[in-house]
Amino acid sequence: MNHPIRIPNFDTLSTIIDRLTVEIVKRTHFEFLTETGSGNAEELRHKIQLQDTVISELRNRLREFLEQTYASREYNYIDETRTFK
């Protein structure tokens, strides 16, 4: 069974977790603005809903990623060489 080769900064475990973290922080920022009465409440509610959708999808992809990796016992990735040191 062939498993995809994971590309750093695109579809590796760390990239998915990093993106999930960023989206949660963005949602929290919108919640803070809502709580403090900063900005348009309706627009902020819409942004929070969009963040909920993005976060949910990222959680699904993370779950699928972990299940696939666990089932296959393989994690193929490109060992990226840094251009600048």
Report yes or no: 75 and 6 within 8 Å, Cβ to Cβ. yes
Closest CA to 55 of 85, 14, 13, 26: 26
Is a pLDDT exceeding 80 seen at residue 81? no
What percent of the chain stands above pLDDT 70? 96
Dihedral of the CA atoms 16, 17, 23, 25 (nearest 10)?
Answer: -160
- What pTM was computed for the model? 0.84
d(CA 2, CA 64): 16
Structure tokens at 4: 């995809």
Is a pLDDT exceeding 90 seen at residue 5? no
The 10s digit of each residue's pLDDT in 23-43 is: 999 999 999 999 999 999 999
In the chain, what are the domain boundaries?
13-72
The 10s digit of each residue's pLDDT in 63-73 is: 999 999 999 99
Q: In terms of DSSP H, where are the helices of 1-85?
A: 13-35, 41-72
Is a pLDDT exceeding 70 seen at residue 85? no
d(CA 48, CA 30): 6
Q: State the average pLDDT over residues 49-69.
A: 96
